[in-house]
Amino acid sequence: MKATLILANGAVFHGKSIGASGERVCEMVFNTSMTGYQEILTDPSYAGQGVVMSYPLIGNYGVNHEDNESCRPWVEAFVVRHLSPRGSNFRCEGTLNDYLKDNDIVGIEDIDTRAITKILRSQGSMNGMITCAEHFNVNEVMEKLAAYRVTDTVERVTRKQAETFPAYGEEKHHVAMMDYGVKQHMIECLRRRGCKVTALPASTPAADVIAGGYDGVMLSNGPGDPAENTAVIAELKKIYDSDIPLFGVCLGHQLLALATGAKTGRLAYGHRGSNHPVRDLEKGRVFITSQNHGYRVLSETVDPAVAEVSHVNVNDGTCEGLRYKRPNCFTTQFHPEANAGPRDTEYLFNRFVASMGGDR
């Protein structure tokens, strides 16, 4: 079946339909990862977005239930150069095409993903539509693209009730995970370090978190514009004003910055992939990191009496981490729990455990 991708700038790409048939409007972004497509599909940070994979061959090792980062996929649409018709891996439980169909994800292949990536890099992320219709009205499509907005995504992806995950082995700490769209591997990284993790809905009042007897609080990744989460930011400020250890990642990093008076801004095309170089200013070393975000903390708005920049992006110099003056509080823009990788920065979980008292 034929399919067509139409971008908001008027560019049209004709290809072959994969996954579910039909029509889908979303914000189009690109990801430079060579592997980890199932983790990308199930990452809640992609809610409301369609993903263009810049690497040309996707699906070659199939899919399996162990690689899911959440209970369901969140990507709206999937764009690839070539979709492997079969998966070759001892863990393979099915093909990526069937996975897309089963989860109602509209996709397209046999199109020039390099050209699309160049458009998004030069003109910025933009809305797009994938349609399987033979005929469509371009003017009507442009109206739909102009009207589409990615909003209220944290409320959409957060869990509705608390859920507890036991530590692997001896329990040493109890961590509250504020679920703004948490990836399961973030929870697993804590469990492997002896932490029982209670994942809480994003709307959980600060008073309940502070009174919960937790040894530390982790602020998870998540989708959308951080500044629109005004109620969450107000409650997070109360948690910050307590003395409980805090560690924030991605959206959690941005939300805590907003809660302490800094500002955020939109990136032209975002950072999405598993090959982003970040410099740890304290260690004087560059680490390769996994990232997925369209917004950033504006370094110049961070009050030096509140926090200092701890990590910077080597490519564009943007803020990738903050170390707060308040004890036992730090955040990163990148994903130290990266799955399928790289895992160079998992040492930050050890730092978080140490802030809670280490192996006591």
Tell me the per-residue pLDDT of 2-40, one tens digit each, with 9 for 90 and over: 999 999 999 999 999 999 999 999 999 999 999 999 999
CA 258 – CA 150 distance, rounded (Å): 20
Q: Residue 360 pLDDT more than 70?
A: no
Q: Do domains 2-150 and 154-355 have the same CATH topology?
A: no
∠ CA 89-95-98, rounded to 5°: 165
Task: Using alpha carbons, select from 300, 293, 299 the residue that is nearest to residue 268.
Answer: 293
Residue-wise pLDDT for 173-191, tens only, equals 999 999 999 999 999 999 9
Specify whether the CB–CB gap between 259 and 20 falls below 8 A. Answer: no
Taking residues 287-303, what's their average pLDDT? 97
Task: Tell me if residue 84 falls in helix, strand or coil.
Answer: coil
The domain spans of the chain are 2-150, 154-355
pTM: predicted TM-score of the whole model, two decimal places: 0.96
Q: What is the pLDDT of residue 102?
A: 97
Q: What is the pLDDT of residue 359?
A: 57
Residue-wise pLDDT for 42-68, tens only, equals 999 999 999 999 999 999 999 999 999
Residue-wise pLDDT for 201-212, tens only, equals 999 999 999 999
Task: Tell me if residue 148 falls in helix, strand or coil.
Answer: coil
Q: Residue 247 pLDDT more than 80?
A: yes
Q: How far is CA 210 from CA 164, 237, 238, 259, in A?
A: 17, 12, 9, 16
Taking residues 189-194, what's their average pLDDT? 97
- List the alpha helices (DSSP H) in 103-196: 113-123, 138-147, 153-157, 184-191
Task: Tell me if residue 206 falls in helix, strand or coil.
Answer: helix
Taking residues 72-77, what's their average pLDDT? 97
* Side chain identity, residue 328: N
Active site residues: 250, 335, 337
Q: Residue 269 pLDDT more than 80?
A: yes
Q: Which of 3.40.225.10, 3.90.1300.10, 3.50.30.20, 3.30.230.10 is the CATH number of 2-150?
A: 3.50.30.20
Q: Is the peptide bond before 201 cis (omega within 30 degrees of 0)?
A: no
Instruction: Give the rounded percent of residues in the chain with a pLDDT score beyond 90.
Output: 96
- List the alpha helices (DSSP H) in 245-298: 251-259
Task: Using alpha carbons, select from 249, 243, 259 the residue that is nearest to residue 178.
Answer: 249
Q: Residue 358 pLDDT more than 70?
A: no
The C-alpha torsion from 213 through 217 and 222 to 224, rounded to 10°, is: 100
Specify whether the CB–CB gap between 116 and 31 falls below 8 A. Answer: no
Average model confidence (pLDDT) across the chain: 96
Q: Which of 3.30.390.30, 3.40.50.300, 3.40.1710.10, 3.40.50.880 is the CATH number of 154-355?
A: 3.40.50.880
Task: Using alpha carbons, select from 219, 221, 185, 220 the residue that is nearest to residue 293.
Answer: 221
Q: What is the pLDDT of residue 343?
A: 87
Is residue 321 exposed (0-12), middle (13-18) or buried (19+ Cβ within 10 Å)?
A: buried
Residue-wise pLDDT for 81-102, tens only, equals 999 999 999 999 999 999 999 9
